[in-house]
Structure 1
Amino acid sequence: MKLDQLKVLRAVVETGSVKAASERLNRTQPAVSQALKALEFQTGTELFDRSGYRLELTAVGRQVYLQSLRVLAEADDLSQLVRHFEKGQEETITIAVDASTDSALLIPVLAELQAVFPETRMVLRAEVLSGAVGAVKSGEAALAIAPMLPVMLEEEGLDYIAVDRIVMRNVAAPTLIDAMDGPERLSDLRRFTQVIARDSGPASGLFDRELGVQKGQRRWYVGDLHTKKALLLAGLGWGRLPEHMIAGELAKGELREIALPHTHLAFEAGIFAFRQPRPVIGPVATALWKSFESRSADAASS
């Protein structure tokens, strides 16, 4: 049984006649009829009821046809996959994404990539603080998206593009804010648990410190920002979260901002796409980088 015979079967069923199928396939009618007869010989039964004006599948023919559709679909997928790799396109692309990055920034870029390179498997790797830099430097990620200071990226020797901005706010549940009783100094927060997202990377260089955490501070550590947010909403501690994650809770009063007169105020940081300098990358990673470059240029001109 050959794929070509199954394609003929599909064309005859979909068009309703040998003549119409031959026109669709750009073949002669005898060639189409011969392919059908060969298929019937191999299955050992008639696949069509030829007594009427229009060819109708027999009960067995219907089962063979439905199975042939699955086989042809898998064959088409395989052919597309082979063509994909013949062009040198990557099997998998890993992007390290800092947990504080708004997914709305990535979705349009990923949608474009999926439309052009549907066979490339995309892996979005969640990281915290230095984790994104570590994933890029180790080669485990082709590129990363994370809030950073340019000096950090330059110290690590990475290529980078500014793609967005993020606002970080120190917040707590109203019950904990009330218990703080109007703190004025950083030391006033020491006895209230600070919830901190643990660094997922090597935490070397400029990352080798706990920014915004004072000595003697009560602290809990979590592995992701969603757990951190849940703890803050429950009144179990205070901490810094990106504004896009808590805008709804701030609007409803479920969280309130902690703003000391001189410290722990809201601050804005740049979000960057970055990668190894002079990377050896394929067309998919190249297209991804160019997409971020284009969006960065559009943002700068607007």
Structure 2
Amino acid sequence: MTLDQLRTLKAIIDNGTLNAAASALHKTQPAVSIAIKKLEEQVGFDILDRAHYRIRLTQRGQLFFQEAQVLLQEAEQLTQLGKELARGNEASFAISYEQLCSNEHINACLKSTFRSFPGTRFNVSGGSRFSALQNIIKQEAQLGIGPWFHLFHAAGNFDSMPIGKMEIVILASPSLFDAKDITLASQLNHYPSLNVQESDLPFDSDKLTFVRGMQQIKIGDIYTLKSLLLDGAGWAVISKQQCMKEIDTGLLQQVVLSDVESKIEAEIRVFRHYSRQHGPVASYLWEQFRHLSDAFKKQDCGC
């Protein structure tokens, strides 16, 4: 059994007649007939029902053709991968994308790259706080997307571009405080604090948060944290942009404190290790983010 025989079978089913299949394959009708006959001899049963004007699959032929289509699709993917590798495209590409920073503009850059390099296997991961920087430093990812602070420059030799902003605020479900007016940091001590797990970076600790609770609950991902936040399990320091719908509908409320800073602005950056050599996928993706960065800078300066 060969892929050519399976492609011939697919052409017959797609086109309905031997003549049409032969034309689509740029072969003669006898060649198509011989190929399908040999295939039927090899499998030991009739695949095609030739009793009608348009050729149909027999009952056993239908089951056989379903599996043949899977095999043909996998063969096409393998062929595409071979072409991608021959052009020097990366076989795999890892991106560390912090969940707090996700937005439609960043997603559009990623989507464009996924579609432009179908032969590359992309691995996109989230994780703990500052996981993007940590994964770049450990060389577990080739591209990082996350909040950026100036002290990060000391952690390594990076290329980086600003691509957005995020506002970090204190949010809670109204049910958590039972109608109490919370205006002081000490009042928050009476309620659990929900926190994304820290990274392994030496400067990252629970002391880095600008306000803390007495009881701290560590959570591995932002989506679990947000679920607990909505259910009133505790309050959290979190990206306001991630929760705008819930704030607008009253499911979450922003806590503004009078005695300490209760919000900060952070830059969102895309970053990678500095190198003179980057593959086609890395270069294409970086260029997509360069366009996003240019648009962000113009908007930020009011140009």
- Considering the TM-score relative to the shorter chain, is it more than 0.5? yes
Distance in 1 between residues matched to 2:59 and 2:232, nearest whole Å: 66
Question: What displacement does 1:44 show?
Answer: 4.4
**34-43 vs 137-146, which deviates more?**
34-43
Question: C-alpha deviations, 1:95-148, integer Å up to 9, x for none?
Answer: 212231124343212221221122322222223333221110110011111111
Match of 1:221 among 202, 217, 220: 217
Question: What displacement does 1:189 show?
Answer: 4.2
- The answer to whether the 8 A contact 2:130-2:146 is kept is no
- The answer to whether the 8 A contact 1:177-1:258 is kept is no
Question: What displacement does 1:272 show?
Answer: 0.5
Distance in 2 between residues matched to 1:194 and 1:119, nearest whole Å: 44
- Letter of the 1:270 partner, please give it: E
Does residue 261 of structure 1 match 2:255? no
Change (3 A) 1:187 1:50: closer
Q: Which residue of 1 aligns with 2:202?
A: 204
Change (3 A) 1:280 1:134: farther
Question: C-alpha deviations, 1:35-85, integer Å up to 9, x for none?
Answer: 233334434455545566554555555554444333322322222222233
| 1:224-263 equivalences in 2 (<5 Å) | 224-261=221-258, 263=260
Aligned length: 297
* CA-based RMSD: 3.0
Distance in 2 between residues matched to 1:47 and 1:182, nearest whole Å: 74
Distance in 1 between residues matched to 2:234 and 2:2, nearest whole Å: 66
Listed as ranges, the gaps of 5+ residues in structure 2 are none
Change (3 A) 1:68 1:53: same
Does residue 275 of structure 1 match 2:291? no
Distance in 1 between residues matched to 2:189 and 2:57, nearest whole Å: 79
Distance in 1 between residues matched to 2:107 and 2:2, nearest whole Å: 41
SS of residue matched to 1:127: coil
- The answer to whether the 8 A contact 2:211-2:262 is kept is no
Identical aligned residues as a percent: 29
- Letter of the 1:226 partner, please give it: Y
Distance in 2 between residues matched to 1:284 and 1:293, nearest whole Å: 14
Change (3 A) 1:176 1:63: closer
| 1:27-38 equivalences in 2 (<5 Å) | 27-38=27-38
- The answer to whether the 8 A contact 1:195-1:221 is kept is yes
Question: What displacement does 1:179 show?
Answer: 7.3
Distance in 2 between residues matched to 1:37 and 1:214, nearest whole Å: 76
Question: What displacement does 1:278 show?
Answer: 0.9
Question: C-alpha deviations, 1:248-283, integer Å up to 9, x for none?
Answer: 332333333222235223332210011111165432
- The answer to whether the 8 A contact 1:170-1:266 is kept is yes
Does residue 297 of structure 1 match 2:288? no
Distance in 1 between residues matched to 2:64 and 2:175, nearest whole Å: 67
Listed as ranges, the gaps of 5+ residues in structure 1 are none
Distance in 2 between residues matched to 1:133 and 1:53, nearest whole Å: 64
- The answer to whether the 8 A contact 1:195-1:239 is kept is yes
- The answer to whether the 8 A contact 1:258-1:264 is kept is no
TM-score (norm 2): 0.82
SS of residue matched to 1:136: helix
Distance in 2 between residues matched to 1:228 and 1:9, nearest whole Å: 52
Question: C-alpha deviations, 1:173-204, integer Å up to 9, x for none?
Answer: 335556765535x44544544333331x2232
Question: What displacement does 1:292 show?
Answer: 0.9
- The answer to whether the 8 A contact 1:159-1:275 is kept is yes
SS of residue matched to 1:100: helix
SS of residue matched to 1:96: strand
> Which entry has the higher C-alpha Rg, 1 or 2?
1
- Letter of the 2:196 partner, please give it: A
- The answer to whether the 8 A contact 2:77-2:119 is kept is no
| 1:155-170 equivalences in 2 (<5 Å) | 155-156=154-155, 157-170=157-170
